[in-house]
Amino acid sequence: MDLLEAKEIQVGIAVAIVAVVATAAYLYTSKKTKVGSIDPENFKEFKLVKRTQLSHNVAKFRFELPTPTSVLGLPIGQHISCRGKDSQGEEVIKPYTPTTLDTDVGHFELVIKMYPQGRMSHHFREMREGDYMAVRGPKGRFKYQPGQVRAFGMLAGGSGITPMFQVARAILENPKDNTQVHLIYANVTYDDILLKEELEELEAKYPGRFQVYYVLNQPPEEWTGGVGFVSKEMIQAHCPAPASDIKILRCGPPPMNKAMAGHLDALGYSSEMQFQF
């Protein structure tokens, strides 16, 4: 072996070592940035940095994470528990699903509908920018892997849209995930529809992969969507038919969840094809 060959081998080894070290460093930092900011056992405090009123009883709350590159660390379709105080000063804990994903670094957001008699609604109604919210998580039975089903049907009512929106966003924004999403979203009035702009944006951005059918109990004039309550016929028309590679998700008020379970059973969807948040 001449001197030139020896030098070439040394250079090659050095380059390989540098490449291995660089890859290891990348993997380490990638893993590091993905460490979540929440704890499933203990509550942690997060600062409210922006409150945006969306309607008379709905607001979007943006909470700051520890650093600008921090992630919440919430698996797709799972939720967090928020702790606050009701109008009597009593502690209350309630689950909520953020509308943000871990691709939204440095913060997380909650879209909250505040009910007049809601105990946790009182806490959110009183929150001002600079206040802190105690949060624990993640929690939930839903586990999602890209491509685990061919299509999702989603039956949402009122604020039950938040876990559906989170799952839909995660699916649609993943270039390696080709899952179809069909959403039926029910409300009382047009003004009750949450995240309408965001849902329309997803429809426009992912035509053919994401469809929304709105149902209103008290629709305005010239309404072209569904009217009344979600029916078996609506599910047949706007959700994937029963099959081993589909799943129907539902999240809404208890009476709606019960009615939807009855409709799905009658239409031939097995228990394995259904999931209730």
From the candidates 79, 107, 238, 263, give the one annotated as an active-site residue: 79
As a whole number of angstroms, the distance between CA 80 and CA 63 comes to 13
Q: Angle formed by the axes of helices 196-205 and 161-172, to 10°?
A: 20
Active site residue 239: no
From the candidates 100, 182, 239, 251, give the one annotated as an active-site residue: 251
R_g of the chain, CA atoms, integer Å:
23
From the candidates 82, 96, 123, 269, give the one annotated as an active-site residue: 96
Active site residue 97: yes
Active site residue 96: yes
From the candidates 82, 97, 107, 162, give the one annotated as an active-site residue: 97
* CA-based nearest residue to 54, from 156, 124, 130: 124
Task: Give the DSSP letter string of 9-48.
Answer: HHHHHHHHHHHHHHHHHHHHHHHHHT-BS--SSS-EEEEE
Active site residue 82: no
Residue 241: what are its φ and ψ, rounded to 5°?
A: -65, 160
As a whole number of angstroms, the distance between CA 232 and CA 220 comes to 23
Which residues carry out catalysis?
79, 96-97, 251
